[in-house]
Amino acid sequence: MNSRNLNTVPEATLSAAEPLPSPGADVAVSVVMPAYNEAGMVGQQIEKVREVMDSTSCPYELIVVDDGSTDDTAAVVRRHDAVLISKKYNRGYGAALKTGIAAAKYEWILIIDADGTYPSESIPALLQALPEYDMVVAARTGKSVHIPMVRRPMKWVLGRLANYLAGQPIPDLNSGLRVFRKSLAEQFAHLLPAGFSFTSTITLSLLLNDYRVLYVPIDYHKRVGLSKVRALHVYDFLLVILRTAIYFNPLRFFLPLGAVFFAGGVLKLLYDVWRWKFSPNGGLLVVAALIIWAVGLLSDQISRIALSSRPK
């Protein structure tokens, strides 16, 4: 199914009061659960996910990708009904997801973390929005959301930047509970990183290409054990947001950046005229603005050619 050029509705959310349609008959799901040193929770999470999936009418498989754990994660998984893929070395959250997606046999991919922070009981609400949408994201905007305070300021900044570059509101940029088409993950595989910014990248990739995205509000539980996210990952998230937005919509970045330089140059030239004392700084800023705009236009043409040449 080709969903390009359809109306994207990222701002749409599904409330508990709204009636939910049943999943289409062709909706079969591959659940991919990345795990790294999650021996204490992965078994419980497998059982919770299986219980929820058994209550739906969807055929499914459950794949757990042990991303080079140094504890008993793999041994715990083997005691439960799940497909285990063990990686010798830890390659990162995104790399584990890509391994699981490659091994999946169904078109619909549902990802969920192994640490128990995402409520598995929210899964039916995601599946019931299929196949109308190309991706359904569990947005951590419910009544009970336990996100550490130290992360919230930077999460807010990155969210506002992503909203601007995407040109639309994004309730949750990097939620780790979502369902999407495997064919879309394969289409954008060259952009999807090996780290935690996998989810941010696939979010922006779909939104910037007019795919249909729905957000379903959920609660978010307090994590058991230590988080794998570190302060240095903020740089990765920022780089991914900028790179993805520039790749698909470069003018959204280069036009305002050039405008800042141009305005600064004009103001400096006017100030020099008022003082009747001239310096090259104003002219240099204007020239810099023209160069930035030229680079933006060239990038936009390259982006359009690259996207038009990709298989639909």
Q: Quick check: 110 and 30 in contact, CB under 8 A?
A: yes
Q: What is the pLDDT of residues 143-188, one digit of tens each?
A: 666 565 656 676 677 778 888 888 888 999 889 999 999 999 999 9
List residues bridging with 144 in a β-sheet: none
Q: What is the pLDDT of residue 223?
A: 52
Is 200 or 249 the better-scoring residue by pLDDT?
Answer: 200
pLDDT, residue 159, reads 75
Q: Among 110, 219, 210, 111, which residue's Cα sits nearest to residue 168?
A: 210
Q: How much is the pLDDT for 15?
A: 41
**pTM of the shown model:** 0.76
Q: What angle do CA 115, 184, 211 make, to 5 degrees?
A: 100
Q: What is the mean pLDDT of residues 195-212?
A: 91
Cis amide leading into 171 (omega within 30): no
pLDDT tens for each residue of 240-281: 788 888 888 888 889 999 999 999 999 999 988 888 887 888
CA dihedral 79, 80, 82, 84 (to 10 degrees): -20
Query: Contact, 131 vs 179, CB < 8 A?
Result: no
pLDDT digits (tens, 9 = 90+) for 6-40: 333 444 444 443 444 456 556 899 999 999 999 99
The 10s digit of each residue's pLDDT in 57-76 is 899 999 999 999 999 999 99
Determine the Cα–Cα distance for residues 29 and 78; give it in Å rounded to an integer: 21
Q: Please check whether residue 179 is in contact with residue 136, taking contact to mean a CB–CB distance below 8 angstroms.
A: yes
Determine the Cα–Cα distance for residues 190 and 278; give it in Å rounded to an integer: 49
Torsion of CA 124, 126, 131, 134, to 10 degrees: -160
Average pLDDT (278-301) is 90
Residues above pLDDT 70, as percent of the chain: 81
For 210-237, letters b (16+ CB in 10 Å) and e give ebbbbbbbbbbeebeeeebbeeebeebb
Q: What are phi and psi of 51, to 5 degrees?
A: -60, -45
The predicted pLDDT at position 149 comes to 61
Phi-psi region of 68 (alpha: psi -120 to 50; beta: other; left: phi over 0): left
Q: What would the mean pLDDT of 210-228 be, rounded to a whole number?
A: 76
On the 0-12 / 13-18 / 19+ scale of CB atoms within 10 A, 45 is: buried
